[in-house]
A = this chain, B = another copy of it.
Amino acid sequence: MFTRETLPAQGVRGYVGRMETSPQRRRDPVQARSRARVDTILDAADAVFLELGFAEATTNHVAARAQTSIGSLYRFFPDKDALLVALAERYGARMQALASQLTPMDPEGATLRGLISDGIDGFSAFLLANPGFVTLIHQARHPALTAGRRAQEGQMAALIGGLSAKLAPQLSAEEVSVIGEVAQTVLSALQTLAHIHDDARSREATLAEAKLMMTLYLSRRLGVPEDVPLASLGGGDTGQRGA
């Protein structure tokens, strides 16, 4: 006979109802085998949530799609919500990578319009490659996500807020915050709208409107002309030349 595995300290008690506590992994994978399995499960969850929506999807669906047993799923994810949280974390990392990738080489040579256009195109390409992310955005209000959301979706707002603060130092912190929130909301909504359409033509048409709207708004709100290289403006420093 073999020894029974000692359960992790964090109170996995008998079955007394839904677990309402920490939606974390029940047990972190340590071998390469299981690490790959966790990734496979997340991929499956992503696909299933996209197809059925989070509410309709079941853990058994996900396990089946991942070609693994339901027991393996529950070994690493305490409940269905944990799948959502883990997915959000994974997308958060990808978003971070996208953000740094979209930071232009020569920010001072770029115009406001150019920055916005590149940003929207970049995010659109990201959505095209990660269709499940739209589903995740749609679930942003899920209670399990409220904690991690700041680090994920608010990232875009922070990026825009940072840009705003640099280009328009006269704005108060509160104004900057509102502008970032508003811009992030509009971008998210219009990207979602754009990617509802399957054909590239109407998607591009919607994205063009998004670019126009954001350019007009930020130009006015930050007091920055649309088509003038940011370097030639007297305002603030737009690049991080130092450390």
Contact = CB atoms under 8 A, between A and B. Distances in A.
Main secondary structure of the interface of A (DSSP, over half): helix
A58 interface: no
Contact of A189 (B53, B54, B141, B185): B185
A127 interface: no
A138 B53 CA distance: 13
Interface in A202-237: 202, 205-206, 209-210, 212-213, 216-217, 220-221
Chain A interface residue number, banded:
20 to 34
A190 interface: yes
Nearest to A138: B141
Nearest to A175: B205
Contact of A206 (B178, B189, B205, B206): B178
Interface in A110-125: none
Contacts of A181: 193, 206
14 contacts: A138-B141, A178-B205, A178-B209, A179-B209, A181-B193, A182-B190, A186-B186, A186-B189, A186-B213, A212-B217, A212-B221, A213-B213, A216-B216, A217-B217
Given A174-B205, A182-B210, A213-B217, 19 more contacts: A54-B55, A138-B141, A178-B202, A178-B205, A179-B209, A181-B206, A182-B190, A182-B193, A182-B209, A185-B189, A186-B186, A186-B189, A186-B190, A209-B217, A212-B220, A213-B213, A213-B216, A216-B217, A216-B220
